[in-house]
């Protein structure tokens, strides 16, 4: 028994007692539903839990305390950009003027939000070097789908119907090939070069009249700027294909590299990474997409338009027939976009440039300090993140990356991303972000140093880690073999309304 066990509590359903709770809305007249045919009504009420507000509050506060979060500690999760989420952004999104605005509000009464969204589009287009931006996609993966569907529409609009393939490097995010499939393309996976970069020759060999697009993450998923990008983009365009940039790693390059200026035709931006909207335990995010001139006609509808008199309006249904259409309901995750807007306005050009510089500086500092602790496969200066590897440690001690990750939890740190990218053995992808102090970075180095020493002295301590967390390693095999995906023993809420 560890000290941790006592921190777990009952489920909401186990807390339920008939007759608790209530009082939030007035009661309806008794005959409120009398005009609805009986066959359309639910046979019996839903078995929802009945809890008082004090119990409800304690339930969720206790649960929150089982979470690790950016606000509780260092979260160097590579590829995820777990930076500090400014509090003013939370405040802004909750202003009644933003939060209470209905998505079908007439343009005339939505001018504040429309102006904010239009200005945000301009800022993101400037940061990405793109002609225009759509804010509609709800997440990075949906941004990818939006971008690749626009690529499809572009080729078809030119009568070019043979382009059925999307090329991705083997180091790409899983969403890239999954997106290509979803958009009806065949994915061709290209192996990386030994230096971790794209293998331009291999891409050249695969490019041809069937290539619709390449999808490149730059800086790459190993944290390196693609040094041969010019050659690659030239080859892509020579083949009549388009270049998609996965903008997951934009936090490294603001003010120094604009994908659109450099020849990328389309990119998505994860505002929940670079522009610090909170990750929310897995969402919501937003995945705006920037395009160059070629894809401009195909942007999802509705776009936000600024009239000559300075007023803003949404495109009407069918106004731009070349559009790929909607990718979701309404205009986008506006509440998230208000936060991103606030973040960009706070920083301005100088602040965003400094963000990228500090993110890259912190990553290189950690990489330098860890180079005698773990393997660091790529010695070039990294961007905002870098790959370390436990391959040598595993050979010497049997300790794997997973064990290191779990032991870091005992030292009070969230583990880095592990076993990604797939191209590096026993990978740890470490992204410190720009908002962590040098003291925190040093403490993280010290923890890894101690863990490597433990790997030699007491490997079982690591095999069985974590020891201090609310729960220990989980039985994931049984969870998948006999899935229990819902609480089914709910009782008690079939009683009549207490008041």
**Interaction of residue 184 with another protein, rule CB under 8 A:** yes
Question: Of 59 and 396, which CB lies nearer to another protein in the complex structure?
Answer: 59
Stretch (H or E) spanning 395: helix 391-397
Token pair of 105 as six digits = 């509000």
> Which of 91-122 are b and which e, b meaning 16 or more Cβ less than 10 Å from the residue's Cβ?
ebbeeeebeebeeeeeeeebeebbbbbbbbbe
- Per rule CB under 8 A, is residue 17 in the interface with another protein? no
Shortest Cβ 457–another protein spacing (Å): 22
Give the one residue of 3, 37, 309, 321 binding another protein; rule: CB under 8 A.
Answer: 37
- Provide the 3-class DSSP secondary structure of residue 221: coil
Residue with Cβ nearer another protein (58 or 294)? 58
Q: By C-beta, is 13 or 244 nearer to another protein?
A: 13
d(CA 385, CA 76): 9
Using alpha carbons, select from 202, 185, 184, 182 the residue that is nearest to residue 193: 202
Candidates 134, 171, 175, 274; binder of another protein (CB under 8 A) is 175
Q: Does 249 bind another protein (CB under 8 A)?
A: no
Residue 332, Cβ density class (10 Å: 0-12 exposed, 13-18 middle, ≥19 buried): buried
**Shortest approach of another protein to residue 308 CB, angstroms?**
19
Residue 347 within binding range of another protein, rule CB under 8 A: yes
Q: Which of 190, 415, 421, 447 binds another protein (CB under 8 A)?
A: 415
Q: How far is CA 489 from CA 455, 492, 493, in A?
A: 44, 10, 12
Q: How far apart are CA 175 and CA 184, in angstroms?
A: 14
Return the number of other C-beta atoms located less than 10 Å from residue 308's C-beta.
Answer: 5
289-291 and 304-306 strand pairing? unpaired
Give the per-residue contact string, 187-206, with another protein (x = CB under 8 A; - = no). Answer: x-------------------
Nearer to another protein, 353 or 397 (CB): 353
Residues 365-394 within binding reach of another protein (CB under 8 A): 365, 367-369, 380-381
CB 419 within 8 A of CB 436: no
167 phi and psi angles, rounded to 5 deg: -95, 130
Candidate segments 171-179, 203-211, 393-401, 449-457, binder of another protein by CB under 8 A: 171-179
Sign of CA dihedral 403, 408, 413, 417: negative
Given candidates 131, 353, 391, 459, which one binds another protein under the rule CB under 8 A?
Answer: 353
Residue 39 interacting with another protein (CB under 8 A): yes
Q: Which of residues 301-320 bind another protein (CB under 8 A)?
A: 316-318
Q: Which is nearer to another protein, 8 or 450 (CB)?
A: 8
Stretch that binds another protein, among 235-243, 361-369, 390-398, 446-454 (CB under 8 A): 361-369
Q: In terms of Cα–Cα distance, which of 191, 183, 187 is closest to 174?
A: 187
Site for another protein in 47-106 (CB under 8 A): 47-51, 53, 56-57, 59-61, 63-72, 75, 77, 80, 82-86, 88, 90-106
Q: From the list 201, 234, 322, 346, which residue makes contact with another protein (rule: CB under 8 A)? A: 346
> Considering only residues 257-296, where is the footprint of another protein by CB under 8 A?
257-258, 261-262, 272, 278-286
Considering only the stretches 134-142, 157-165, 200-208, 452-460, report the one whose residues sit in contact with another protein under the rule CB under 8 A.
134-142
Euclidean distance between CA atoms 138 and 330, whole angstroms: 11
Tell me the CA distances in angstroms from 420 to 290, 415, 428, one per residue in order: 26, 13, 7
């Amino acid at each position: 028994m560890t000290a941790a066990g006592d921190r777990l509590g009952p489920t909401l359903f186990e807390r339920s007692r008939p007759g608790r709770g209530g009082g939030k809305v007035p009661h309806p007249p008794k005959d409120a539903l009398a005009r609805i045919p009986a066959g359309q009504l639910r046979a019996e009420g839903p078995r929802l839990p009945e809890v008082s507000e004090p119990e409800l509050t304690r339930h969720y506060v206790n649960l929150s305390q089982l979470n690790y979060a950016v606000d509780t500690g260092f979260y160097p999760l590579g590829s995820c950009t777990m930076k500090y989420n400014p509090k003013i952004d939370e405040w802004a999104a909750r202003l009644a003027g933003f939060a209470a605005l209905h998505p079908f509000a007439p343009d005339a009464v939505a001018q504040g939000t429309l102006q904010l969204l239009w200005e945000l589009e301009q800022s993101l287009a400037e940061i990405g070097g793109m002609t225009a931006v759509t804010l509609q996609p709800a997440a990075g993966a949906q941004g990818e789908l939006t971008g690749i569907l626009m690529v499809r529409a572009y080729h078809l609009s030119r009568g070019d119907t043979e382009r059925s393939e999307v090329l991705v490097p083997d180091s790409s995010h899983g969403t890239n090939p999954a997106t290509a499939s979803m958009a009806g393309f065949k994915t061709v996976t290209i192996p990386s070069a030994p230096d971790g970069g794209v293998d331009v020759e291999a891409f050249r060999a695969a490019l041809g009249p069937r290539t619709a697009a390449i999808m490149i993450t730059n800086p790459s998923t190993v944290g390196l700027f693609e040094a041969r990008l010019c050659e690659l983009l030239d080859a892509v365009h020579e083949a009549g294909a388009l270049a998609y940039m996965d903008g997951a790693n934009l936090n490294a390059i603001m003010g120094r590299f604009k994908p659109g200026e450099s020849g990328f035709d389309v990119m998505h931006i994860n505002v929940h990474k670079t522009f610090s909207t909170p990750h929310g335990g897995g969402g919501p995010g937003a995945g705006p997409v920037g395009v160059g001139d070629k894809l401009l006609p195909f942007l999802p509808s509705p776009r936000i338009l600024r009239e000559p008199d300075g007023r803003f309006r949404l495109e009407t249904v069918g106004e731009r027939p070349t559009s790929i259409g909607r990718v979701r309901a309404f205009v986008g995750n506006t509440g998230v976009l208000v936060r991103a807007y606030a973040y960009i306005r706070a920083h301005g050009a100088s602040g965003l440039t400094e963000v990228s510089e500090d993110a890259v500086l912190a990553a290189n500092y950690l990489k330098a300090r860890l180079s005698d602790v773990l393997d660091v496969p790529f010695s070039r200066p990294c961007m905002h993140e870098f790959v370390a590897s436990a391959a040598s440690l595993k050979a010497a001690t049997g300790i794997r990356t997973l064990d290191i990750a779990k032991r870091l939890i005992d030292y009070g740190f969230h583990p880095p991303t592990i076993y990604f990218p797939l191209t590096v053995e026993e990978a740890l992808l470490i992204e410190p972000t720009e908002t962590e102090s040098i003291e925190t970075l040093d403490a993280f180095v010290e923890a890894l140093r101690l863990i490597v020493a433990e790997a030699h002295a007491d490997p079982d301590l690591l095999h069985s880690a974590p020891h201090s967390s609310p729960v220990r390693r989980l039985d994931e095999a049984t969870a998948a073999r006999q899935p229990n995906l819902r609480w089914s023993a709910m009782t008690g809420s079939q009683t009549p309304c207490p008041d």
